[in-house]
Chains A and B, each alone.
Chain A
């Protein structure tokens, strides 16, 4: 099984091939560099097959008992989660590399870019197949640095400042991650994943944060909170998400890689440490809150941006929030499923986005102004299909699950969460479909029904199968849901709130489509306008951080003045 080590090493060969040799031969080298990447992808597929049939593979190049070798504990632990991530990363890289060969052709940084792409892929693969926390952290940090370099465009001021911001933000989360590792080792004496999980389960530890005041915290909670700080940075969670929109001046293929691969690191980390997170309900609740905030803010800010890349950037932030929220709800496998689907989708969108921008620059034109046509073409068939499918769906699902399958919904938050994801996702898709005007309404209605079937099928069968694939032990999955269970009233109010929001969306859509005026109090309208401005300016967080930085330097200057 030692040959599996080649999978993360092959992209390094690509970097070597591309970076060396004469500049005149760079196209030839770039073509040659594609081969190791493809080989790595095939190797990842083979790994997935081997791991699925034969169980996890462990390759340790160090003695876990010897503290003397702590400096670089290189080892590989490849289970189904790692293998899935490896397939995703190598697959996306293969496509991006091939695309970049044309897109970056004759660019000054062509060789550097392709070389860095190979290096980043290798680092990502090493990270997802790490055998222990320290190795994972080492590659996690290297990834922060590579991201800084990839986001660079040497001569462009805004890009430079964005790259520096990216690195600082990522280092902030890296510091939290490092503190988490140190605390974990201090409490449990190991950084090997399986041993850590076993010891954390068997040895409950209480940390006295402030004994005089009686402040204490569970050891696992403290460790998981700090490590979650690390995940927050890489996955652009509120309030340290600001680096992602600011790094959007980088080459378009970099964004495809960033949004399809690198940014998923946070979700991967939470999944890798799922047994540890499963021991700490408090952390899971915080993860849920942060994820929910990020999802809401990301989606809201996305709607107010006037730049296609920033729009996509905030869309990713929203999706990452969604993914982290899933982890916070104990649906770890759902987060991985989401991560893969989003990665593939966003990769495609970004690769297309480059062409769109180029085309827009070559053939500038005004945006379409067909608002009036939209108003007159309102179709009651489209609207009623959407309305009924969206509102009838919960009833059907409740009937099936509660009546036919006899699942006790009141006692199973996990199942309700899955059902809600089905409902919210399909509602969103169907709401979007109502905006289609150019085709006959029966076609749109049919599309709605097909969408509904696809979403229901995806959640009920694909996600369920994927969950079973990733976490074959059903009790383990149930224990995560149990740990993440929210207090009854809070959960109920969340359910009622989401339901109301979805229904109100339909009511608003109906009224809006019929040209009816919805009376809104003046103060709410004023508030909405202000909210729009705040969201358009990305909550002024960039400015806030800038002011914070200036405050620190101001204090330092005053200190220096006093001393001299």
Chain B
């Protein structure tokens, strides 16, 4: 066991921390307030090579591992969880299915553009009637003259409208559950793909989340990812490592909230002394610190196991469940340390609470994580 970060990982953290402090931090409040997609930050992250973190070097990416990816997402999320979410979805569930399941031609066609940030990716699994029960999705794929025609609607699609690539899951055998599902790579310029209006949300403002409608959307056979019927497996595998990114996002949110709470507690004076000297505040700070550390270790462990080729599904589920619950609790406690000021949108505390809630819901609600974890426990 060696729980130290390698010089390479330390260097990545230094690089991303610099980017986050210099570029993301000053923009975070406006991104939230204006609810405008931060194309400028995506472009700057692309310049640093951060959009191709997991893409192998031969396809123009940085060829880094999931631990590096987790470090990168955490650092960005300390200041802006929505920006971190945009970059995470692109680099993880948007791009990784091609890295893992794409054929050579598909990799050459998509990965260099995705890695450079010339194209942004989205992952389209969830439907209005198929959330946690994703295997019962209704979007159909029908064969027609050597191509496929997709029909149906997706919802809660991050990067919708901004993305040039949609990884779409559709069923070729409606009613047959997971077995009928197939994955398709659909270009954003496909005339059969239409994006609905941006959904108005509690938080994660700035990130584009919308419905995606597939209306006689014609997809070439060469754009099928993996085999027919392999789509559910591809989606689940993408979500397994996707959860590492969500965990890292939650850790970043929590760490950012803790840092601000600590700084405020040292400055804010009541009863003639800094509130940091009151034990009730100290207890909150101690518990927040322990939770965020534990969450980070779990995230890194899931990442390290994934990178070492070991089974990591349960590790990632536990990390996602723990880190996002911790982020919710910590952002609420950090807001409480700020008192009335925490409730004002002048400070980032309220925004973090709004952002943290999403982490408990997406890429598998925490209830689904518990089902996954319990199933593994009862079976073993």
Q: Are A and B associated in one complex? A: no
